[in-house]
Structures are given as structure tokens and as C-alpha cells.
Amino acid sequence: MVKIGSHVSFSETGLLNAAKEAATYGSGTFMIYTGAPQNTRRKPIEEQYIEEGKAVMAEHGMEDIVVHAPYIINLASYKKDTFELATRFLQEEMRRTDYIGVRNIVLHPGAYTDKDAEYGIAKIAEGLNEVLRGVKDTKVNIALETMAGKGSELGRSFEELAAIIEKVEDNARLKVCMDTCHIHDAGYDIVNDFDGVLAHFDRVVGLDRLAVLHLNDSKNMRGAGKDRHAPIGAGMIGFKAIQAIVQHEKLGHIPMILETPWIGKNDKTQRPMYETEIALLRGNTEARFGVEFLDQVERLDHFFSKQSIDHREFVLNTWDLLKNDEKAKKVDKREPMERLYDLIEAEQLFKELSEEQINQRLTAWFASK
């Protein structure tokens, strides 16, 4: 069975808390930050209930988990203090990752800000060389993440990743994390030609370097360079394309991590759709949720079909409308799931269900045929 999980929190009781949360989603793996991704404050890793967390992982068959490096690390910076913080902090994070027993830490390559791409690539390679020289006693690989091309961030093409890797001395320890939203937003056609994209990646970087997949739908047109994640099926990529990636014969051994947004009408009611997304992508929805769940999804399908609403057409048309509304500065900014939820609520179709439960069934409806 493919290893699918999600980003989970690493707080209070550290790995124990993270493993317990992941288990509630039916995860086969998961991804953590070892502390807040926006700052350098860290609790000693020895106090983070590592063995207790591993016991929960073993109980639920979770393995090959992933650590994500903090966002504040920018190896492409021309500012001396920022660069030195990045190298020092990444080394610390790698040692913490090694202590947990995780083999891959995902890293955003960096942003060149006021310089240019050539400068940024050379600076990232310089930083990686320095980092790797200082952590030879660890077994952790750095998985450079594919980026969407927002602002001056690097890693927006396979060629940029290859250029960085080529300049690093100990580059056997450099891997890649491929994010579906990011490469779609960077212009790669993963909807109609994922095999071609994967073949291109293999030629330029090497499929043997692919160590992690981030599974995210996108709110943007292909090539928009914006990096805005959407729930699986509720974006421009769609469930069918992402399921094909999950089931691809060359990727079954790689941990796959959901970073999809939480859904809800307000901050208090927002909930992740991870449990539903994992079950749908694995193909075990009935076993996870039961027959009644599927019957309710069928009721949804009947309800929407009476209004001539097709799930893919509705999603694509809504994002196109929102793109045009953004330019016209119109008021209605409701995204596809919220608009559909409002229709269900107006009809009082599922009076007995909570907002989260209705959204779970909507998520499943996006995956229906």
C-alpha cells in the first residue's frame, strides 16, 4: 500500500502528539516541523517523546516519515547574517532530524531577492556545501523542494535544481521533494502528461533523487507561479490527475504528504480533509467511512445533477470566475467548496451532519465519476 499522510503538528508532546494525530487520519506516513517554522525557538529534541511516538507509529504501521526545514532558512541570501543563520540553523535541524531517525529533511532552496538567479544558485550551493561538511556524522539527506516560481524563489524548474546539485560536493545526499501544486504552478503539465513530466525530471535531475512527494491541488491556472494550495479535487489539477500520480508504478515507494488547506466557514470551524483525502487516494473509502457515507455522496451527486452541476466543470469555472473577479475587484470571493456547501445548507440536505462532515462528503464527491 502507498504511504500517504499529511503535515501534522509537533508540539506539547512532540513526536507522540504528531503520531497520534496522524493515526486519526489513517496515515501511512506524515511530515513534521521539529519546532515553529517561522522562528528558531526549539525545545531540546531529547524531550520530545521520540520513543513514545515511534511506538504509536509501529502500532499503526506508519513509517518513512519526513521533516520539513523552517521557512526562515534562506541559503540564497546575499546578507551575511541571514546566510550564516541559514547554514547554522539547517545543521541544527538536520541533527534533530537524525536524532528522531528520519532520513529526509525537505528544504525550500531559497530566494535571491535583490540579486539574480545565477547568484542565488551559486549561493545555495555554497550554503549546502558548508552545511553538509558540518553534519557528516548524520545520515540525513536534504530534499530540495520544487517551487512554484513566486517572487525570486529558486527551484522553479528541474534545471535550476540540477544546477544547484551539480555545484555541491557531497551531492549524493541531495534529494528532491516534488510538490504537485508547485510544479503545476511552475508550468509543468501534470494533468495531461505526467509521464512526460516525470521523464523530463529523470533526464535533468534523475528519478533516483526523488525522495518525497507533496500532494496538493492548486487554485491557479498552470504556469501562474503563485503557489496557492487547494483541497484534493477542488483545484485546477483535480482528483483524477493526483490519483494517477499516487498510483504511478515508479512512485509507490515514496512517502506522499498532503499539505492541503483546512476547510470551514470561519477559523473556529475549519478542519482538515486529510482523512477523506487519504481514503479516497488509497481507494478504501468504504472501509474507512462505511456504506452510509457513500450513500450520502450519491445523494449529493443526485442533488447537484438536478442542477446540472458537474464537479470538474464547476471547479474550473469557479476558479476562472474568481481570477476575473480579482481583476474586477468584485465582492463574491467564495471558493468552489464554500459555494457548494452554501447550496447544500440552503436546501438543508444534511441537517443531521456537521459542517466538517458535509465537507468530507463534498471532498468525496469531487472524486466521483
Residue 182 assigned as binding residue: yes
Determine whether the annotation assigns residue 311 to a binding site.
Answer: no
301's enclosing H/E stretch is helix 291-306
Beta strands 217-218 and 229-230 are antiparallel
Q: Is 253 annotated as a binding residue?
A: no
Q: 179: annotated binding-site residue?
A: yes
Q: For residues 129 and 145, what is the distance between their CA atoms, to the nearest angstrom? A: 17
Which residues have CB under 8 Å from 306's CB, separation 6+?
Answer: none
The reply, when asked if residue 145 is annotated as ligand binding, is yes
φ, ψ at 151 (rounded to 5°):
60, -130
- Is 259 annotated for ligand binding? yes
Q: Where are the beta strands (DSSP E) in 62-191?
A: 66-68, 104-107, 141-145, 174-179
Distance CA 348, CA 198 (A): 45
> Rounded distance, CA 62 to CA 76, Å?
34
DSSP string, 172-209: GGEEEEEEHHHHHHTT--TTT-HHHHHHHHHHHT-GGG
Spell out a b/e string for 115-147, using b for 16 or more CB atoms within 10 Å of the CB, else e: eeeeebbbbbbbbbbbbbebbeebebbbbbbbb
Binding site annotation covers 214?
yes
As a whole number of angstroms, the distance between CA 220 and CA 181 comes to 9
Distance from first CA to last CA of the chain, Å, rounded? 23
Annotated binding site for Zn(2+): 68, 108, 145, 179, 182, 214, 227, 229, 259
Annotated binding site: 68, 108, 145, 179, 182, 214, 227, 229, 259
